[in-house]
Amino acid sequence: MKHQTAKAVTLLLCGLLSTKITQAKEPFTGIYLSLKAGGDLLTGKHKYETVGGANETTLRKIGMSYGFGVGYMKLTPSKVLWGGEVYYEGRSLKAKQKMVTIIDEGELTVSHKNSMGISGMVGMAANPKLIAYGKFSLESNSFELNFKNLARGAENKKLAKRTFGMLPGAGMLYKLSDSILVGVEYSLAVLKEIKTTPGTITSTYSPSENRASANIRWLF
């Protein structure tokens, strides 16, 4: 009787272990933690108007980004990938410009501090190790606008602003092992304009960023 019981327990444990191993080896599927790093190219438009006139300039700058995310992804039997992620990214973009009409109106420094958002992805397996996908994100972004040396006796003004945007993008994932994926991504950040009125200036800043990054994901 004891021998039969031990045999039954052994078979049950083997069955559970086999199921767990099979589940663990399911490709591109599971909850994951991601770490990412990359670069951002800013092409922000800045319009400003004062009693001395109006002008428009483009701010161009390259900065670095880093961040992490938590998400879930699933590869279906038909080789279609779908998933979603919540994420946070720190940013180092900082661009400066002089504001000029008929006189020097002052200086503006724009700093992009961070981003946080939620994204969805849909893709297709090119082979057992490679996935190509498209993605779409909704994002909240923190900016700092620092106006200095303003004309007509206006005081310097530093403003913290948050703006929202949409990010279409695409990427690829490569399977190093059953639990480790590496990849690259590109996205275009189209963000809502930021309006401010420092001193006698009416300022409208419209940020747009091209972003490229590399990432590593651990599947659980």
Give the model confidence (pLDDT) of 137-190 as tens digits.
999 999 999 999 998 878 899 999 999 999 999 999 999 999 999 999 999 999
Domain boundaries, the chain: 27-219
User: Average pLDDT over the chain, rounded to whole?
Assistant: 89
- pLDDT at residue 10, rounded to an integer: 47
Percent of the chain with pLDDT over 90: 79
Nearest to 135 by CA among 165, 164, 172, 163: 172
pLDDT over 70 at 18, yes or no:
no
Give residue 26's pLDDT band: very low, low, confident or very high (50, 70, 90).
confident
167 bridge partner residues: 137
Distance CA 111, CA 69 (A): 23
HSE-up of 22 (CA within 13 Å, CB side)? 6
Beta bridge partners of 120: 84, 136
Enumerate the β-bridge partners of residue 96: 109
- List of residues 6+ apart from 2 with CB closer than 8 A: none
CATH of 27-219, one of 2.40.160.20, 2.130.10.10, 2.60.40.10, 1.10.10.10: 2.40.160.20
Residue 199 is predicted with a pLDDT of: 84
- pTM equals 0.82
pLDDT (mean) for 16-20: 44
The pLDDT of residue 189 is 96
Which token pair is 156? Answer: 């310097």
